[in-house]
Amino acid sequence: MGLAVRAFVAPGEPALLTRGTYPTFLYHVAGYGGTPVYASYRSDGAPDIEELVAAARRDLPRIVYFANPDNPSGHFVSRDEMQRLYDALPRDSLLVLDEAYADFVDEAELLPPVFEDRLIRLRTFSKAYGMAGARIGYALSTESNVRTFGKIRLHYGINRNAQIGALAALQDRAFTDYVVSETARAREAYYALARELGAACIESRTNFVCLGMENAPRATRVMNELLLRGVWVRKPGAPPLDSYIRVSAGTEPMRQAFAQTLRAVLA
């Protein structure tokens, strides 16, 4: 993300994102002097494709950042909708497509594997591969973009052990298949818990689920009460998602502990 911003967003130039999406991209824009412009989430917590396209055509951003599946909502935009977004963006705007959670989605559901200078796709080993501590991810793009990155990148930014581990992880399909299937079970357990509690939830294609707490102050109180009882969850910071708490998949004992504690807090 930092390389993309440094390479393609000059100081003062606009970069477009959804307000409340994964904040690290915004940190880079602010840190390197770009000007963030925003679209909003829809009232149901999904990214607003129409508003993003309208903002892109109005402000002509150098970069449009979009996470799919979305962080922090977990919402997934279908292949057809993603293609529509990509096709509708100005030709001079670079789409930085954050696919950190793509391993939880069938490849056939994702944007087709196109390689054009106006598209950079970001992937990571931090999620389904379980290598968050190794801090290793990668970009899929054209030779031209990669050469540009090569001019400004930190040449020792990824250590050798992380690279060896990542290459080995790619061969261990049994592990990632297990993680993906167990994560799907976890999501179903949280959906059932939401139904039991009469709480809203957002269908997720990630390793977390957002559960509605009616309003932002109540979501904050529930989050803090859970923490006081030894259960650590987070919540999105911007509306409308700030009325939700967000819980990670976790193991089955973790999920049971969360469910029991949440029942006690809400009671």
Same domain, 99 and 123: yes
Same domain, 35 and 152: yes
Same domain, 135 and 221: no
Residue finishing a domain among 171, 200, 223: 171
| Whole-number pLDDT of residue 157 | 84
Instruction: Tell me how many domains the chain contains.
Output: 2
Over the stretch 38-89, which tens digit does the pLDDT of each residue have?
Answer: 999 999 999 999 999 999 999 999 999 999 999 999 999 999 999 999 999 9
- Please check whether residue 34 is in contact with residue 65, taking contact to mean a CB–CB distance below 8 angstroms: no
Tell me how far apart the alpha carbons of residues 15 and 159 are, in angstroms, rounded to a whole number. 30
Over the stretch 129-169, which tens digit does the pLDDT of each residue have?
Answer: 999 999 999 999 999 999 999 999 988 888 999 999 999 99
Q: How far is CA 41 from CA 18, 130, 244, in A?
A: 7, 29, 14
Cα atoms in the 13 Å half-sphere on the side-chain side of 208:
21
Residue finishing a domain among 129, 153, 171: 171
Tell me how far apart the alpha carbons of residues 97 and 25 are, in angstroms, rounded to a whole number. 11
Same domain, 108 and 119: yes
| Whole-number pLDDT of residue 151 | 95
Same domain, 99 and 132: yes
Q: How far is CA 150 from CA 4, 38, 144, 145, in A?
A: 11, 29, 10, 9
Q: What is the pTM of this model?
A: 0.95
Question: CATH number for the domain including 148?
Answer: 3.40.640.10
Tell me how far apart the alpha carbons of residues 116 and 94 are, in angstroms, rounded to a whole number. 10
Which residues neighbour 241 within 8 Å (Cβ) at sequence distance 6 or greater? 20, 41, 45, 72, 73, 210
Same domain, 210 and 156: no
Q: What is the mean pLDDT of residues 196-222?
A: 98
Over the stretch 173-202, which tens digit does the pLDDT of each residue have?
Answer: 999 999 999 999 999 999 999 999 999 999
Which phi and psi angles does 227 have, rounded to 5°? Answer: -65, -40
Question: CATH number for the domain including 258?
Answer: 3.90.1150.10
- Please check whether residue 149 is in contact with residue 3, taking contact to mean a CB–CB distance below 8 angstroms: yes
Confidence of residue 92 (pLDDT cuts 50, 70, 90): very high
Per the structure, the complete domain to which residue 240 belongs is given by 174-266
Same domain, 188 and 100: no
Same domain, 209 and 237: yes
User: Which residue in this structure is represented by tokens 């994702």?
Assistant: 110
Same domain, 141 and 231: no
- Please check whether residue 219 is in contact with residue 245, taking contact to mean a CB–CB distance below 8 angstroms: yes
Same domain, 123 and 249: no
Same domain, 198 and 167: no
Residue finishing a domain among 142, 171, 200: 171
The two beta strands, 94-98 and 14-18, are unpaired
| Whole-number pLDDT of residue 86 | 98
Same domain, 233 and 159: no
Alpha helices in the chain (DSSP H): 2-8, 24-31, 49-59, 79-88, 143-152, 160-171, 173-197, 216-228, 252-266
